[in-house]
């Protein structure tokens, strides 16, 4: 309680008495409780609304009788606690020391049903006022602000009170605490029942990188080979067309693709090394090159933590710290740097240059996304994170924030480390960040654990804290590559030849964006080209007998005033799908959805065939 | 309160007093309340935990002072209410008379925050014990059963109490009521605060059909034509290959497809008539044929409620009642009856014979699904519901329950009528029913309203009551055609060459089905054909360097013991996708997912390219 006072956290006026003492108090109404580690209220151990000292002593007798009935023994150490009765809506605040995020507050609705209701949110102890407000808004209980049942509830007051708990948890040697109820009063929050566990666990040291990972003028590829079934072959081949200077390294080879192949000790200074050699040679090679000034390492080789070799992986971390290196991986797919057209991955699909930086903890998800993106979505940078022995998400976000060619960042996450640095990097990012986090269900967590050797982490906490810090949380991996393109779209138009699918798409779209309200002038124009039964609204239902002519007429009016138009085509009786496809091709801001299969085999246009797939671009 | 007593619903012992009277009561603790229509507890109008008559009169003074402070005037009609204090978890029960479902109970957590928490479920007044239990299980507060914080909570007791409220609401002239709190005690639920509104609105009469819609031996097609741009042409053409006797009717034509075309008055008795003629002739044609004994009408013609002609639509309803008819539509796509190979729709895609009955309120969703299903999914019956002037979902479900060739039923719903009959039909169905309901968001409801002229109805209520009555609620339209095939699958196996996508798919699959636990023997067998780093678990991660040989080895072990296997292929360095496709083709219970695009252009196999699309079959 002294700790709470230090941070100016209100507690009810209270007094404790020995079991035998006569009770007296000076603030009414008050509450009498037996001070014993039991569910007091469930055994008649609490009496509320006591209005006088006479009642107080009568209440004491009743409690003692109740305890006797429940066979609860009273001994000399037990005490009675009298507390000023504080009435109001019951909130909850707690603190947990999370493996990943360290000190995190849990805030929400309080009361005895807290475990059942789980109306809670997470708040980082470093969150500012705005973040705290965003966090509170995620709870149902936040609907009491600014007024509920005729009574005012002051959000700013609650935010200020939460800041006290942030300071308490940040500065004191507390491992966890919970306060339930934390009662809302006009003068602030009053902590009624307080439980504190001391002894904060040690924190992991996060090391900020001082060299850019994307300084790749001179690149050594260790393990470059002419054997086509080796990843060293694919990387060498992918790297060949780069503007960077590439040095192949392989003791058993003299030339590759017409270029000299070096032995490691022949190599002059390089800034970047890709390591695709047997795991037993990895550590010594890194140390050798680090001593010669190489700063960036991408370890493709597997055989570390994921195979149970935890010590070997620890040594990578040590090397990075000792020589001040960026070490990506091990067990990764490589990196891509658009500035130098430098593809240091062994992916098979081509990479188009663009503005999206893609970071992935799964090499397979990365190849799948690169394969889906090929020739369609352009990348500025790609980082396959692998086991993250050294270079982690926070490092990657800091790095990309300094890369002007990167305009958006997408991240596929399985498990996190260094949560505090990660949140800080999200907060500081000048670029929008899109996140997909795998491993929501218990079963999925088990699956993730078996394949990465990382615990997937508390899904809800990662999602909530990332969102509050400013990231966009996405619900499919495809969204990571397609949504950045449409990030600035605010309002969407739907054109359809059928009401039902228009209704369903409305449901799906409005989870992410607004439907554009069509103004009078546009409605008038549409009236002139559409049949009288058209919907007179967005979704623009141009009626089942629409042919390509009507699609064109509607789109000629809508395309110039719309950011993005989803056009639904269902195979109705009059539908001339092939002509419609020709029409749709002409509009840059049209996303075609042909809802069917049999009738659409002859269509020469890229389209979505399901509504759910189409909204993945949002 | 007398009403409650009649149904044996407990209320606290209570007594009312005039403002001027001296208070006295005989059961303590008790509560004193000012009996005024205000938020009493917010203005100090309630005092709890009163233990004696002396305290009672002191409490009265305090309340009067509190009211004065809040400027609330007391007059002679106001009274004080003393109530026995009942303590326990606060529940809520209410009744609403819904437009669609008529008397429906709302049950859940009670207390002052009920509007904020919305931890409620819907219970039909006709639901039996099992349904009530299913409904309660949908609330968070249900987690108190059977025990919470060391105290027992008896679910059967609560079910019995809810049955009392079902009877109350069913039998009495009540429009709505709510009881908050309804307090759980060991002896039953005690209704503390009760509000009842009388005067039940009139109910709509549901008419059960006595003739089968699918008696279609002799079918007249009114509006059959040789003009290819008319739906009458498409229907006539689709109907031609049927085993039923088909009569084309058109006053302006003598032959069509080499068959005689009749004038309406030349027609001998038929059992079924498809109406694809201008709307002004529809009503008279139906009446003419009904008089001659025709029982089933499918009105393709539009121009009724959806165009604002509500009276005309009412007349259809009247005709159906007067002549005891089944009238499907108007404004529909038609019906299909597999027994007679009878396609009375104007859909363009072919229909495969099978066991699924598909009912759709949207013609466009129906054509889209038929197009996606063509040659893949077989149908026993199809009904395009159109405006549902007469033949409605409840009629359709009753009808299909009597059709032996129908083994599963899928329904696309926008808005409902006759909710009680609909729920009864779901309960009585011997076949599994899959439902997709459009119009969840406010925006979507608006869209649905504009296109069908039907209010989409309370989404949550429709979904909850349908689920509790026994239907399977699905979240995409495609699921309606694909999921019935896999309805009996209980456990799923995932085989993947990448952990990440395996984790994501686990998340998606476990929403619907369980992951199969692999037994020791199978794990042993897999150990012998897979590399040592495989996941040793389901998802079976066969590691990124897997080629077709390894896929085959794993599937040869897993296919014989699995109901359904999702196989994920990501484009890794060693992946021989075309050979893998050849391997996958050989297993009947494998669903292939090729996660990518660029690398998979040469694949000769139908596959899903996203995880979300793949799980639509569940």
| Interval A296-347: pLDDT, tens | 999 999 999 988 899 999 999 999 999 999 999 999 999 999 999 999 999 9
| pLDDT given for residue A449 in this prediction | 57
DSSP A6-22: HTT-B---EEEEETTSP
B115: left (phi over 0), alpha (psi -120 to 50) or beta: alpha
What tokens were used for A267? 């190599």
Closest CA to B246 of B222, B266, B210, B230: B222
Q: Which of A485-499, A505-519, B454-468 has the weakest average pLDDT?
A: B454-468
Q: Does B306 touch chain A (CB under 8 A)?
A: yes
3-state DSSP call for residue A180? strand
Tell me which chain A residue has its CA closest to the CA of residue B362. Answer: A500
> Which residues 573-612 on chain A approach chain B with CB closer than 8 angstroms?
573-574, 595-600, 609-612
**Whether the predicted pLDDT of A490 surpasses 80:** yes
Chain B stretch 457-476, residues whose beta carbon is closer than 8 A to a beta carbon of chain A: 476
Give the confidence band of B317 by pLDDT, cuts at 50, 70, 90: very high
Q: Residue A58's closest CA among B86, B50, B27, B22?
A: B50
Q: Hey, what are A170's tokens?
A: 């940040």
Taking residues A477-499, report their average pLDDT: 95
Residue A453 has pLDDT above 70, yes or no: no
Judge contact between A282 and A299, C-beta under 8 A: yes
Q: Do A140 and B149 touch (CB under 8 A)?
A: no
B552 has pLDDT over 70 = yes
Work out how many CB contacts closer than 8 A connect A with B: 298
The pLDDT confidence band at residue B306, using thresholds 50, 70 and 90, is confident
Which residues, in sequence order, are CB contacts of B225 under 8 Å at separation 6+? B232, B233, B236, B250, B253, B256
Pick the residue from chain B with its C-alpha nearest to A303.
Answer: B533
Q: What is the pLDDT of residue B149?
A: 87
Read off the DSSP letter of residue B290: H
Which 69-98 residues of chain B touch chain A by CB within 8 A? 89
| Across A312-321, A353-362, B440-449, least confident range | B440-449
- In sequence order, which residues have a C-beta less than 8 Å from that of residue B403 and are 6 or more positions away? B214, B357, B380, B381
In chain A, how long is the greatest CA-to-CA distance? 101
Cβ pair B446:A537 closer than 8 A = yes
Q: Does residue B219 surpass a pLDDT of 50?
A: yes
**Measured distance CA(A68)–CA(A284) in Å, rounded:** 72
Per-residue pLDDT band at B443 (split at 50, 70, 90):
confident
Residue in A48, A141, A448 nearest the CB of B49: A48
Task: Confirm or reject contact between B498 and chain A (CB < 8 A).
Answer: yes
Cβ–Cβ contact B490 with A under 8 A: no
| pLDDT interval class at B448 (50, 70, 90) | low
- What's the pLDDT score for residue A252? 94
CB B292, CB B269: distance < 8 Å: yes
How confident is the model at residue B1, as a pLDDT? 65
Query: What's the whole-number mean pLDDT along residues B316-330?
Result: 97
Looking at A516-520, B81-85, B453-457, which range is the least confident one?
Answer: B453-457
Confidence (pLDDT) at B452: 45
Would the pLDDT of A457 be above 70?
no
User: Residue A143: pLDDT band by 50, 70, 90 thresholds?
Assistant: very high
B455 has pLDDT over 50: no
Confidence of residue B196 (pLDDT cuts 50, 70, 90): very high
Give B234's pLDDT tier (boundaries 50, 70, 90).
very high
- Cβ separation of A498 and B613 shorter than 8 Å? no
User: What is the residue-averaged pLDDT of chain B?
Assistant: 93
Q: How far is CA A491 from the centre of its chain?
A: 24
Tell me which chain A residue has its CA closest to the CA of residue B303.
Answer: A533
**What percent of chain A has a predicted confidence (pLDDT) above 90?**
83
Mean pLDDT in residue range B62-89: 90
Contact A533 B307 (CB under 8 A): yes
Asked whether residue A37 carries a pLDDT value surpassing 90, the answer given is no
Q: Which residues pair with B174 in a beta bridge?
A: B198
Distances (CA, A) of B54 to A56, B15, B24, B51, B523: 15, 16, 9, 8, 76
List the one residue out of A53, A47, A24 whose CA is nearest residue A34: A47
The region, left, alpha or beta by phi > 0 then psi within -120 to 50, assigned to residue B263 is beta
Tell me whether residues A503 and B414 touch, CB distance under 8 A. Answer: yes
Which pLDDT belongs to residue B445? 74
Rounded distance, CA A236 to CA A250, Å? 11
Name the band, by pLDDT with cuts 50, 70 and 90, for residue A450: low
Q: Is the pLDDT of residue B466 over 90?
A: yes
Crossing angle between the packed helical segments B419-428 and B393-401, to the nearest 10 degrees? 20
Cis peptide before B284 (omega within 30 of 0): no
Name beta bridge partners: B38: none
pLDDT value at B90 more than 80: yes
Across the interface, do A507 and B49 touch by the CB < 8 Å criterion?
Answer: no
Picking from A262-276, A368-382, B42-56, B309-323, which range would have the lowest pLDDT averaged per residue?
A: B42-56
Q: Which residue of B has its CA nearest to A442?
A: B507
Residues 6+ positions from B486 with CB-CB distance below 8 Å: B564, B617, B618
Paired tokens of A213: 């990972």
Long-range contacts of residues A236-242, Cβ cutoff 8 Å, at least 24 apart: A238/A343, A238/A344, A238/A345, A238/A346, A238/A347, A239/A274, A239/A342, A239/A343, A239/A344, A241/A341, A241/A343, A242/A340, A242/A341, A242/A342, A242/A343
pLDDT at residue B311 greater than cutoff 80: yes
CB contact (8 A) between residue B498 and residue A365: yes
Please say if the pLDDT value at position B39 is more than 80. no
Q: How far apart are the first and last CA of chain A?
A: 49
Query: What are residue B195's DSSP bridge partners?
Result: B178
pLDDT band with cut points at 50, 70 and 90 for residue B457 = low
Q: The whole model's pTM is what?
A: 0.92
Q: Any CB–CB contact under 8 A between B499 and chain A?
A: yes
Residues whose CB is less than 8 angstroms from the CB of residue B175 and which lie 6 or more positions away in sequence, other chains included: B97, B197, B198, B199, B200, B201
Give the mutation candidate from B361, B503, B515, B609 for the A interface (greatest A CB count, under 10 A).
Answer: B503
Closest CA to B89 of B147, B129, B130, B43: B147
Is B293's Cβ below 8 Å from some Cβ in A? no
Between A151, A439, A507, which is nearest B42 by CB?
A151
Instruction: Evaluate if residue B450 carries a pLDDT over 60.
Output: no
A150: pLDDT confidence band, cut at 50, 70 and 90? Answer: confident
**Edge-to-edge order in the sheet of strand A433-437:** A342-345, A334-337, A378-384, A352-360, A408-413, A433-437, A472-473
pLDDT given for residue A442 in this prediction: 78
A interface test, pick of B115, B137, B435, B444 with most A CB neighbours within 10 Å? B444
Residue keyed to tokens 């004994």: B293
Lowest pLDDT segment from A148-152, A161-165, A233-237: A148-152
Interval A564-588: pLDDT, tens: 999 999 999 889 999 999 999 999 9
Across the interface, do B544 and A39 touch by the CB < 8 Å criterion? Answer: no
How sure is the predictor about B29, in pLDDT bands with cuts at 50, 70 and 90? confident
Closest residue of chain B to A513, computed from CA coordinates: B443
């Amino acid at each position: 309680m002294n700790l709470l006072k230090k941070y100016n956290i209100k507690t009810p006026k209270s007094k404790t008495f020995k079991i035998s003492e006569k009770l007296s108090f000076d603030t009414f109404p008050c509450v009498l409780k037996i001070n014993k580690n039991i569910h007091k209220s469930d055994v008649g151990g609490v009496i509320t609304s006591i209005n006088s000292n006479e009642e107080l002593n009568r209440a004491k007798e009743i409690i003692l009788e109740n305890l006797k009935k429940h066979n609860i023994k009273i001994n000399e150490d037990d005490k009675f606690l009298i507390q000023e009765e504080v009435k109001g809506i019951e909130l909850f605040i707690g603190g947990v020391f999370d493996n990943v995020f360290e000190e995190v507050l849990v805030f929400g609705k309080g009361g005895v049903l807290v475990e059942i209701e789980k109306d809670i949110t997470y708040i980082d102890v470093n969150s500012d006022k705005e973040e705290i407000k965003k966090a509170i808004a995620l709870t149902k209980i936040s609907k009491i602000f600014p007024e509920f049942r005729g009574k005012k509830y002051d959000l700013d007051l609650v935010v200020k009170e939460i800041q006290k708990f942030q300071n308490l948890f940040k500065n004191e040697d507390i491992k966890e605490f919970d306060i339930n109820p934390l009662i809302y009063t006009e003068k602030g929050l009053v902590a009624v029942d307080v439980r504190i566990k001391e002894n904060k666990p040690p924190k992991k040291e996060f090391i900020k990188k001082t060299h850019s990972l994307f300084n790749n003028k001179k690149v050594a590829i260790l393990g470059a080979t002419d054997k086509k079934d080796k990843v060293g072959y694919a990387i060498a081949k992918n790297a060949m067309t780069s503007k960077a200077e590439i040095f192949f390294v392989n003791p058993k080879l003299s030339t590759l693709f017409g270029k000299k192949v070096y032995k490691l000790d022949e190599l002059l200074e390089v800034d970047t090394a890709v390591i695709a050699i047997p795991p037993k040679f990895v550590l010594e090679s890194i140390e050798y090159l680090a001593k010669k000034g190489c700063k960036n390492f991408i370890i493709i080789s597997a055989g570390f933590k994921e195979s149970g070799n935890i010590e070997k992986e620890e040594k990578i971390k040590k090397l990075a710290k000792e020589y001040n290196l960026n070490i990506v991986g091990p067990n990764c797919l490589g990196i891509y740097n658009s500035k130098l057209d430098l593809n240091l991955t062994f992916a098979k699909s081509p990479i188009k240059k663009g503005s999206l930086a893609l970071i992935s903890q799964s090499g397979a998800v990365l190849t799948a996304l690169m394969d889906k993106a090929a020739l369609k979505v352009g990348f500025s940078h790609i980082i396959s994170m692998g086991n993250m022995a050294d270079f982690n998400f926070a490092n990657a976000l800091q790095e990309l924030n300094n890369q002007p060619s990167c305009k958006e960042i997408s991240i596929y996450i399985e498990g996190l480390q260094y949560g505090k640095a990660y949140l800080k990097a999200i907060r500081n990012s000048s670029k929008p960040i899109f996140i997909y986090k795998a491993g929501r269900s218990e079963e999925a967590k088990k699956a993730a654990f078996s394949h990465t050797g990382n615990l997937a982490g508390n899904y809800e906490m990662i999602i909530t804290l990332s969102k509050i810090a400013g990231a966009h949380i996405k619900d499919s991996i495809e969204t990571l590559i397609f949504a950045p393109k449409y990030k600035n779209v605010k309002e969407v138009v739907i054109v359809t030849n059928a009401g039902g699918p228009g209704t369903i798409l409305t449901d799906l779209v409005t989870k992410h964006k607004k439907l554009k309200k069509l103004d009078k002038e546009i409605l008038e124009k549409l009236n002139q080209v559409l049949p009288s039964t058209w919907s007179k609204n967005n979704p623009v239902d141009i009626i089942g007998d629409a042919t390509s002519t009507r699609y064109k007429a509607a789109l000629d009016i809508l395309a110039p005033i719309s950011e993005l138009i989803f056009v639904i085509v269902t195979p109705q009786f009059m539908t001339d799908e092939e002509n419609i496809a020709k029409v749709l091709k002409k509009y840059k801001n049209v996303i075609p959805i042909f809802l069917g299969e049999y009738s659409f085999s002859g269509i020469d246009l890229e389209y979505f065939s399901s509504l759910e797939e189409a909204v993945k671009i949002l």
